[in-house]
Amino acid sequence: MIPRTIFGEEHEIFRKSVGRFVETEIVPNHSKWEKEGKVSREAWLMAGKAGILCCAIPEEYGGMGGDFLHSAIVIEEMARVGASGPAFSLHSDIVAPYILKYGTEELRRRWLPPMATGEVLAAIAMTEPSGGSDLQAMRTTAKREGDEYVINGQKVFITNAQGADILIVACKTDPAAGGKGISLILVEKNREGLSLGRLLDKIGSKAMDTSEVFLENVRVPVTNLIGVENQGFIHLMTELAQERLVQCVRAVANAEAALQWTIDYTTERKAFGKTIAAMQATQFTLAELHAEIMVNRVFIDRCIQLHLEGKFEAIDAAVAKLSSVEMQGRVLDRCLQLFGGWGYMTEMPIARAFADARQSRLAGGAIEVMKHIIGRSIVKR
Ligand SMILES: Cc1cc2nc3c(=O)[nH]c(=O)nc-3n(C[C@H](O)[C@H](O)[C@H](O)COP(=O)(O)OP(=O)(O)OC[C@H]3O[C@@H](n4cnc5c(N)ncnc54)[C@H](O)[C@@H]3O)c2cc1C
């Protein structure tokens, strides 16, 4: 087994405490949240108390002052138990960095500390009913009127929308300029004109709240602008690399867990007078999955390292996502097969993980979009 070398001693201590938190606070409640379609507010507050929210945000803004390795640990420990409900990483590693990097000092001081404690939950709204892959074609607009933006439009598939107190909304501040007219604006949920649609019924990730968001003449001060006006698309593309890396880290850890569940199950389960794991066909499958996971594990660890050094680029993120989430899909499918009929029963973690993981090939950029990014960069025009 190739050892992992990216984590230090202090990270491993942190991993133990995150693991304990996940076992005591997340695992016992997850199926209840799945039935309710959302994670309790209390769980977020407990996560904040345990220091697992916004761990890569500097201490002066209420975070732990850690790095992406701390974030990776939280993502991995959640993925290992199939905890697909709490969107901690979306809140901490996708939304918080926008406020930290592009928000004004006032916005940072106002929102980051309560995000770290779990008192304020955040979401990001890019996708629209007319399409999410082609973000430059978004239709939501923000018209400047004096010291305010007036936002009109509709968003869909927004994770955390029901629970969120703030949303970063991508919209057109210069509709005629296409992708060069997009801006990111922080919108407080309680602004007049903002309303939520249905809590969408998904095939997996049942505890994760995913909703439509409607914006009708929503007025926010221009000081809620995140980053530079009309450069929102560039900000989005810059941050999508970390968003995709989050998905890769989750994919590998989840595949590792699924393989372990399968080894455990097939070592106990018998057919034709021996355990399923004793059959060579099973061992060949397990060996193939082990190899696939290990190759991705080593590669994604290298990507994490490059990300920490500020050298992880959009193309690398596309390669990493294409490879790891496709691998996750194959692994979960083949593991499920080895559980027989039990693999199809939602009471089994493998069944839920199989359904939960399907979104990885869609959300945060469909697999075909990854291929498009890679293809464009390797084929000389
Ligand atoms: C569970 C879940 C959570 C999500 N959370 C969020 C969130 O928090 N915030 C948010 O803004 N969005 C979120 N999304 C939306 C997600 O990012 C979009 O679904 C995704 O970007 C695809 O957009 P679309 O669904 O509109 O598909 P479309 O853009 O309509 O594309 C449909 C399909 O067409 C194909 N396709 C598209 N472009 C190309 C291309 N260039 N080349 C070849 N084939 C192509 C792909 O197969 C793609 O799946 C979430 C989605 C899911 C499923």
Give the residue range(s) of CATH 2.40.110.10 domains in the chain.
123-230
DSSP track, 70-97: HHHHHHHHHHHTT--S--HHIIIIIIHH
Task: Tell me what pLDDT residue 375 has.
Answer: 96
Burial of 348 (0-12, 13-18, 19+ CB in 10 A): middle
Please write the tens of the pLDDT for every residue from 332-377. Answer: 999 999 999 999 999 999 999 999 999 999 999 999 999 999 999 9
CATH 1.10.540.10 fits 9-120, yes or no: yes
Is 0.95 topped by the overall pTM?
yes
Determine if ligand 1 sits within 6 Å of the CB of residue 163.
no
Q: What pLDDT, on a 0 to 100 scale, did the predictor assign at position 105?
A: 98
240 Cα: distance to centroid of ligand 1 (angstroms): 13
Q: Which ligand 1 atom sits nearest the alpha carbon of residue 123?
A: 8
- The ligand 1 atom at the shortest distance from the C-alpha of residue 133 is 29
Rounded-to-integer distance, Cα 88 and Cα 55, Å: 10
Atom of ligand 1 nearest to the CA of 87: 8
User: What CATH number should be reported for the domain whose range is 123-230?
Assistant: 2.40.110.10
Task: Report the pLDDT averaged over residues 249-275.
Answer: 98
Confidence of residue 381 (pLDDT cuts 50, 70, 90): low
Q: What is the mean pLDDT of residues 244-250?
A: 98
pLDDT, tens only, 59-87: 999 999 999 999 999 999 999 999 999 99
- Nearest protein Cα to ligand 1, atom 40: 369
The stretch 153-157 carries a mean pLDDT of 98
Q: How many residues does the chain have?
A: 381
Taking CA atoms only, the protein residue closest to ligand 1 atom 41 is 369
Cβ partners under 8 Å of residue 37, min gap 6: 199, 201, 206, 207, 209
Mean pLDDT of 290-302: 98
Dump the DSSP string for 102-160: HS-HHHHHHHHHHHHHTSS-EEEE--BTTBSS-GGG---EEEEETTEEEEEEEEEEEET
Active site residues: 243
Bridge partner list, 171: 183
Pocket of ligand 1 contains residue 122 by CB under 6 Å: no
Between the CA of 128 and the centroid of ligand 1 the distance, in Å, is 9
Q: Which CATH number fits domain 233-378: 1.20.140.10, 3.40.50.2020, 1.10.3720.10, 1.10.287.370?
A: 1.20.140.10
Please indicate whether residue 124, judged by its CB atom, sits closer than 6 Å to ligand 1. yes
**Ligand 1 close to Cβ of residue 369 (< 6 A):** yes
Residue ranges, CATH 1.20.140.10, the chain: 233-378
